Amino acid sequence: MIKKDITIDLNCQFSLQIQSSSFSSIFKAFLQLLPQLLEEFFQKTLVSFAENEMKSTRKSFACKCCGNDTEFKWKTRHGKATCILTLFCWITLRQLQVECKRCGSKQYITRTLLDMESKKRVPDETRRKLALIGALTSFRVSEKIGSMFGWAINKMTIWKSVQLIGSKMEFMLDSNEQPRGEADGTGIGIKGIAKRGKELKVFVQHKKGGGIRVAGADIGNYNGSWKNIFQKSIEVIKSFNCPFLLMTDGDTSIFNSLKGKVEVLIQRCLWHIPYQAKYFLWKDSVKRKSKEWLHVVAELMEICAIRPLVDCQETIDAMLESKRNRLEKLMDYCRKQGYTHTKAYLENAREDMFTAIENRLEGKTTSKVERLFRTVNMRSKVSKWSKQGALNVTKVRLAYYYNGFDA
Ligand SMILES: [Zn+2]
């Protein structure tokens, strides 16, 4: 493909039967005209560009046999038909064929001119657009909306595009963004898959200008998923000149695959702690909203509330000491009351509650992933999915909403 502006004179002649002069008749007829016009336009433009190249010495193609890239003669401008998928419909192009003046071998140049791989029938651009449409709404709705605009692209093609584009998407940490992230999982409602045990795991990175980007995603029911997710980013974590701060809502098995390889500081999501504690209080049979229940929850809310923008080290130290004491007292209270589950939970969380503030790492100690889950989770509830299928559509959605993917 050579970049050079060319003027195309399009003089097409079309004959159409139109039933009446009503708006809908004319519009319907135009939609029928569209594919023909598109085909004609592609053909004409390709021939014009090819003519131009044939006249000049420099070619965008070389002979596949002898490597000659200057001397060719036309074989045909309307050769064997080939089909290519546009966003509207399939179009049939008559291939352009040239002959090498040096060795006499013939070759088609249509796809070279189109900047497409040989034999490929669906351009990447079409795939990406279809994948995005199919990831943003259901396949049935995609097909319906398309048909209103005169498209003739079926659900299967859209589905396939989502799968192809999604499966090729790779997420990892960006060394230009913050050395800070969150790892979280959520039960995912996948239609067609038994709900039990399937979890969408997402690793996000905080961006310098605020907001988040996705650095890893997987769907699985085992912790091996996390290993795969982190593996890709290990080198990036090493490239930061400070420890990586990873926030989580408590599933520490997440980090087993990182141990010993990189320096990672763990911060429990403080927002989650009082909520998770409610579950353990329930397990300990503490009556909801009872005096005892309220005491534990309210104390935890206070302990977990971190006032931002405190930049005096002495104040921070005093604040931490006070919070730690309060937490110890609360655990003591739980022990006395016989709340064994709640006490064990707090004991476990204690280590990683104040990591960020202790290390004077600014930033939020509450999770941003909640919202992300709400955003991406919806799509897999529509249509029937395999595990891989649901992951692929989720990846395309994540990439669109968080990583700037656009078609
Ligand atoms: Zn040749």
Model confidence pLDDT, tens digit, residues 29-63: 998 888 889 999 999 999 999 999 999 888 889 99
Residue 76 inside a domain? The answer is yes
pLDDT at position 388: 86
Residue 200, C-beta contacts closer than 8 angstroms, at least 6 positions apart:
185, 186, 187, 188, 217, 218, 219, 373, 376, 377, 394
Residues 240 and 295 in one domain: no
**SS3 per residue for 23-47:** HHHHHHHHHHHHHHHHHHHHHHHHH
C-alpha separations of 269 from 249, 276, 353, 365, 375 in Å: 5, 10, 7, 6, 20
Ligand 1 centroid–CA 69 distance in Å is 8
pTM for the model: 0.78
Q: How far is the CA of 392 from the centre of ligand 1 (A)?
A: 43
Q: What is the mean pLDDT of the chain?
A: 86
* Distance between Cα 82 and ligand 1 center (Å): 23
More confident position, 354 or 400: 400
66 Cα to the center of ligand 1, angstroms: 4
Rounded to the nearest angstrom, the distance between the alpha carbon of 114 and the centre of ligand 1 is: 21
Q: How far is the centre of ligand 1, averaged over its atoms, from the C-alpha of 61 (Å)?
A: 11
Q: How far is the CA of 70 from the centre of ligand 1 (A)?
A: 10
Q: Could you tell me if residue 393 is inside a domain? A: no
Within this chain, do residues 141 and 184 fall inside the same structural domain, yes or no? no
Q: Which domain holds residue 108?
A: 23-121
pLDDT for 200 equals 84
Asked if residue 102 belongs to a domain, the reply is: yes
135 with 224, same domain: the answer is no
Of the listed ranges 145-149, 170-174, 189-193, 280-284, the one predicted with least confidence: 189-193
Q: What is the pLDDT of residues 235-263, one digit of tens each?
A: 999 998 878 888 887 666 677 777 777 87
CA of 105 to the centre of ligand 1 (A): 6
Total domains in the fold of the chain = 4
Distance 209 CA to ligand 1 centre (A): 54
CA 62 – ligand 1 centroid, Å: 8
Compute, in angstroms, the gap from residue 97 CA to the centroid of ligand 1: 13
Does 251 lie in the same domain as 378?
Answer: yes
Spacing, Cα 106 to ligand 1 middle (Å): 8
- What confidence score (pLDDT) does residue 383 get? 59
Same domain, 233 and 279: no
